[in-house]
Amino acid sequence: MTFNDIFKSSFLENVTAVSLTDMAIALVLSFFLGLFIFFVYKKTYSGVMFSQAFGGSLIAMTMITTMVILAVTSNVVLSLGMVGALSIVRFRTAIKEPMDIAFLFWAIAGGIVLAAGMIPLAIFGSVIIGVIMIVFCNRKSAQKPFIAVISCDNGQTEDQVVSYLRQNADKAVVKSKSAQKGSIELTYEVTLKNNSTEFITKLSEMDGVSSAVLVSYNGDYMG
């Protein structure tokens, strides 16, 4: 064994497996790709509270995926070890919005395709996906739905409430009904006439009605 053999290290040999130019180009492109995904996410978000942290995580996810795939493509043995290492990772954060899953997968797929050297596919594919997301996911219904929650005293008052809703709303569909002794709570999906909410005020003043609440929602009501 010579003096050079003592200091010879396979770890140091892997330093030049990926050139600095390739790393810089891949990471810069992944940053802009993640930024584009974040822009589309912000443009199409329709939830109640926008999460800036989740939007930022899309950029980080794209760059991290690119970095991992660059390492994997440079070493076959490392790719096998990476599969085993990543298989033990568990994420406990619940995804509340269904579209968030699509954006997470888009960020991961974009990072993979970009690091694999398929730059045109990553760029043009993301542009096409972004346009489709903006066109279809950002569309708003002409008639915005509302949820009306009315508490009344008895069945006779309930009939008057239902008749009044059907006369003063374009659509009134029952979602739920909760009945207790001396109290009935009705939940209706309604669409307004001429965007006027005056009917809910008059409804609350009706004899036998203890409260009337009108709430806007995005159509994801689970009833």
Q: Break the chain into its structural domains and give their ranges.
A: 3-137, 145-216
Gap between the Cα atoms of 26 and 11, Å rounded: 22
For residue range 158-173, what is the model confidence (pLDDT) as tens digits? 888 888 888 877 788 8
Task: Decide if 27 contacts 49 (C-beta within 8 A).
Answer: no
Predicted confidence at residue 29, as pLDDT, reads 92
Q: What is the pTM of this model?
A: 0.62
Gap between the Cα atoms of 89 and 156, Å rounded: 58
In the chain, the percentage of residues whose pLDDT exceeds 90 is: 13
For residue range 8-45, what is the model confidence (pLDDT) as tens digits? 555 555 555 667 887 888 889 999 999 999 999 988 87
Q: What are phi and psi of 68, to 5 degrees?
A: -65, -45
- Judged against a pLDDT cut of 90, whether residue 97 lies above it is answered with no
Gap between the Cα atoms of 162 and 152, Å rounded: 11
Long-range contacts of 210-213 (CB under 8 A, 24+ apart): 210/151, 210/152, 210/153, 210/183, 211/149, 211/150, 211/151, 212/148, 212/149, 212/150, 212/151, 213/148, 213/149, 213/150
In the chain, the percentage of residues whose pLDDT exceeds 70 is: 74
Q: According to the per-residue pLDDT averaged within each range, which of 79-83, 189-193, 194-198, 214-218 is highest?
A: 189-193
Mean pLDDT lowest among 90-104, 152-166, 170-184: 90-104
What's the mean per-residue pLDDT of the chain?
77
CATH of 145-216, one of 3.40.50.970, 3.40.50.300, 3.40.50.80, 3.30.70.260: 3.30.70.260
For residue range 101-120, what is the model confidence (pLDDT) as tens digits? 888 899 989 988 988 888 89
More confident residue, 48 or 192: 192
- Judged against a pLDDT cut of 80, whether residue 83 lies above it is answered with no
